[in-house]
Structure 1
Amino acid sequence: MSDQYEAVFAQYDTDGDGQLTVEEVTAAIAGMFPAAEVGDLSGIVKALFAEYDTDKNGYLSVTEFVPLAENLPELGAED
């Protein structure tokens, strides 16, 4: 697993629990589209969790996050 993806994951894992919550993913996506209202992102985030939360526990682990980051390179973009 790439250290780059682990570093990006850690950046979005704001509470440091090793999992990304819906709120943390929403904040990450909102950071990519600053003009978007968070409420407008709920459908996008729900779809991402439906596809990438493979164990269906409501969180994204780092191993679940990597394929998402690979398919959505904006998540790994440096500001």
Structure 2
Amino acid sequence: MSEKFEAVFAQYDTDGDGQLTVDEVTAAIAGMFPAAEVADLSGIVGALFATYDTDGNGYLSADEFVPLAANLPELGGDA
């Protein structure tokens, strides 16, 4: 993982367990779009997990996070 994505992942991995939970991803998105209500983000976060949680364990690992971050300019990606 690039240092750029590693730093972003670490920023959102608030409990430091090496995985992003639904709550951590929701908080990250809410921080990027403060006008959005957290309840309104559940569908977005669900879709992100459906797409990027490739092992289906309910968490995003660092390896699963990279393609997500690479597709979101708000997370430092190029999209």
Normalised-by-shorter TM-score class: over 0.9
TM-score between both structures, scaled by the size of structure 1: 0.94
Contact 1:29 1:75 in 2 (8 A): no
Q: Specify every segment of 5 or more residues in structure 2 that has no aligned partner in the other structure, as ranges.
A: none
Question: CA offsets, 1:20-42, max 9 Å, x none?
Answer: 00000000000111011000000
Q: Specify every segment of 5 or more residues in structure 1 that has no aligned partner in the other structure, as ranges.
A: none
Q: Which structure has more strand as a fraction of its residues?
A: 2
Q: Does 2:30 align with 1:30? A: yes
Two-structure CA RMSD over aligned residues (Å): 1.1
Q: Does 2:41 align with 1:44? A: no
**Corresponding residue for 1:6?**
6
Name the CA distance, whole Å, in 1 between partners of 2:44 and 2:5.
21
Q: Which ranges of 4 or more aligned residues in structure 1 deviate by more than 4 Å? A: none
